Amino acid sequence: MMRILILVALAVSLHATIDQKWSSNKNCQACHQKISKSWETSRHSNSHFTKNDLFKKSLEYIVLKNPKMVLEEIKVDCARCHNPRIAKDHLRTDEKILLALENDTTKEEFQDMLNAEHMKNGINCIVCHNVDEIHLDKGKGSQGLGSVKFGVQGTMFGPFNDAVSPYHKTAQRGHFASDTPDLCFVCHYSTKNRHGVEVYSTGKEYDAGSNGNEGCRDCHMSEKKDGFASNYAKADAKPVPRSVRDHVFASVDNSDILAKYVSIAVQKVENKVEVTLTNNSPHRVPTGYGLRELYVKVEFLDINNKSLGKDSKLISAQWKDKEGKATIPHEATSKSMDTRIDPKASRAFMFDIPEGAVKVKYSLGYRLISKEMAELINVEDPFFLREYKTRAQTQAL
Ligand code: HEC
Ligand code: HEC
Ligand code: HEC
Ligand code: HEC
Ligand code: HEC
């Protein structure tokens, strides 16, 4: 036992850890204030299980359903994309045994590794800007840290070939300088769960459904605009003007991306209203995490603006386990339904017009997780339980 313990201690300590100087966006904030603030609004800054109730509850649910697995094992596996600067990419058998036996020393070592400051900081500056090379095997899908080679710590890779910083070295890399989706595909291309079921496939959808030139940044960061990469300048100098993008990594919860790129057309067809959604994005909508829900919502009004009733249609996917019961994507053995709208495609939804209606109000609703699945795995954070809505519009009938 003692020998195993020593080996474990060695294995953990031998792996490179992230130097304090680069561990958090707080280290960058003084000179990259705007970028740092806008990154903080993104889901990338909340990808650690201590900051994301849905992720945390998913991990716990997986252990509950698989008593032979230990929580740390799953955390390490998921960290490949959710926290890819993790010091190890898998557990050895002896480590797993010690963890299952609740060995204090081993538990503590994993605690320290999984909760290191740079891990808690999420998919942060040092995750993306330390990526030297990308080796994505599309056949295997995204492997997160397994799809990249990180550079030496202290060199920040970026879009410019002439950037000079007093705090760090800089170097240009093509995956920043050109608008290819390669960097995003390190994690967003596709991935399968333990049962071989594909649970995310944004990049695959993009390859199949778009012209391949759109990239991801115009919509999820911003279009290129005049600004500054850094607010820092030497005493008698000014910051260098640059063409830059925002670091919002826009999603439904921190931006108006849904209203901007999913268009709605409404027309009366005999005694029905036809609502047509057009997905102007190069991936399916909703894409990504498999329990997102998009709702087309209508409300009919009479001549006095009194409501005559509401109706809605759901666009989503559903997942089931081997007993045929509804479950979360990571536990599914198959997908039981998928009505998500293909890239660049339109879909029409018909609604009956009630007697006396003269107007229809319409909007989109969006949930990060279905109510039923939130209940199943006990998600409590209101951020995940609320409905996100676009501004309602009205049309005469
Ligand atoms: C190291 C892996 C990784 C890389 C690289 C990466 N992402 Fe992400 N991204 C994630 C993970 C994991 C999440 C989910 C985080 C969470 O919700 O806890 C996420 C979330 C997002 C979201 C928010 C979706 C939501 O849940 O609301 C958007 C948008 C996004 N990423 C876009 C991008 C774009 C664009 C790029 C390329 C410039 C990129 N990502 C690069 C792993 C990555
Ligand atoms: C998910 C990956 C990702 C993360 C996380 C990320 N960046 Fe970036 N960053 C990019 C991409 C992609 C570009 C290139 C944008 C473009 O096309 O000009 C970029 C560009 C930059 C630039 C050059 C100026 C510009 O806007 O083009 C700076 C400086 C920078 N990032 C700093 C940071 C800092 C500081 C953080 C942490 C607060 C951070 N980045 C987090 C992907 C990322
Ligand atoms: C003391 C100020 C300072 C600090 C702290 C700082 N930077 Fe920078 N950084 C700069 C300056 C100045 C530039 C060059 C700006 C320019 O040329 O437009 C720069 C450029 C960059 C670039 C672009 C590199 C390129 O070649 O395209 C990236 C990426 C970057 N920094 C990331 C970071 C990250 C990540 C951190 C935190 C770990 C950080 N910086 C901390 C001042 C700083
Ligand atoms: C034309 C604009 C557009 C482009 C280009 C685009 N997206 Fe999106 N993306 C959207 C819209 C709109 C949504 C919100 C609807 C949804 O959830 O699918 C979205 C949602 C997402 C989500 C979040 C889904 C969630 O769970 O909240 C991710 C992740 C994402 N996109 C990744 C990407 C990646 C990676 C690329 C490049 C390969 C890309 N997007 C290109 C418009 C775009
Ligand atoms: C191959 C990369 C990769 C791996 C490995 C991975 N994920 Fe993810 N995960 C992502 C990406 C990318 C997103 C963002 C997609 C989106 O938001 O639509 C995400 C989003 C999520 C979300 C939604 C988070 C939110 O804030 O809404 C959950 C939950 C999740 N993953 C659970 C897991 C679990 C549990 C594991 C391990 C069993 C895991 N993931 C492993 C890439 C990965």
Tell me the CATH number at 327.
Answer: 2.60.40.10
Quick one: which of 18, 25, 30 has its CA closest to 85? 18
Cα–Cα separations (whole angstroms), residue 350 to 222, 340, 363:
34, 17, 14
Structure tokens belonging to residue 342? 């293909």
- Farthest-apart Cα atoms in the chain, separation: 82
Domain edge (last residue) among 250, 275, 306: 250
Query: How many distinct structural domains can be found in the chain?
Result: 2
Can you tell me the distance from the alpha carbon of 244 to that of 177, in angstroms, rounded to the nearest whole number? 11
Ligand 4 site residues, Cβ closer than 6 angstroms: 181, 184, 188, 202-203, 206, 214, 216, 218-220, 251-252, 257-258, 261-262, 280-283, 285-289, 292
The Å distance, Cα 4 to ligand 4 centre, comes to 46
326 with 386, same domain: the answer is: yes
Which residue's CA lies nearest to atom 24 of ligand 3? 158
Can you tell me the distance from the alpha carbon of 317 to that of 276, in angstroms, rounded to the nearest whole number? 19
The Å distance, Cα 287 to ligand 4 centre, comes to 7
**What per-residue confidence (pLDDT) applies to 16?**
62
120 with 268, same domain: the answer is: no
Which residue's CA lies nearest to atom 18 of ligand 5? 288
88 with 7, same domain: the answer is: yes
282 with 232, same domain: the answer is: no
pLDDT 10s digits, 138-187 = 999 999 999 999 999 999 999 999 999 999 999 999 999 999 999 999 99
227 with 290, same domain: the answer is: no
297 with 225, same domain: the answer is: no
Residues 125/25, Cβ–Cβ less than 8 Å: yes
- The tens place of each residue's pLDDT in the chain, 397 residues long, gives 445 444 444 444 334 689 999 999 999 999 999 999 999 999 999 999 999 999 999 999 999 999 999 999 999 999 999 999 999 989 999 999 999 999 999 999 999 999 999 999 999 999 999 999 999 999 999 999 999 999 999 999 999 999 999 999 999 999 999 999 999 999 999 999 999 999 999 999 999 987 778 999 999 999 999 999 999 998 888 999 999 999 999 999 999 999 999 999 999 999 999 999 999 999 999 999 999 999 999 999 999 999 999 999 999 999 999 999 999 999 999 999 999 999 999 999 999 999 999 999 999 999 999 999 999 999 999 999 999 999 999 999 9
pLDDT 10s digits, 308-361 = 999 999 999 999 999 999 999 999 999 999 999 999 999 999 999 999 999 999
Q: Is residue 255 part of a domain?
A: no
Residues 340/286, Cβ–Cβ less than 8 Å: yes
Q: Is residue 366 part of a domain?
A: yes
Domain edge (last residue) among 189, 215, 250: 250
285 with 240, same domain: the answer is: no
Quick one: which of 372, 361, 247 has its CA closest to 318? 372
Ligand 2 mutation pick, 31, 247, 249, 251, max ligand atoms within 8 A of CB: 247
Q: Is residue 238 part of a domain?
A: yes
Residues 254/41, Cβ–Cβ less than 8 Å: yes
- For residue 303, the enclosing domain spans 260-396
With a CB cutoff of 8 Å and minimum separation 6, the contacts of 77 are 90
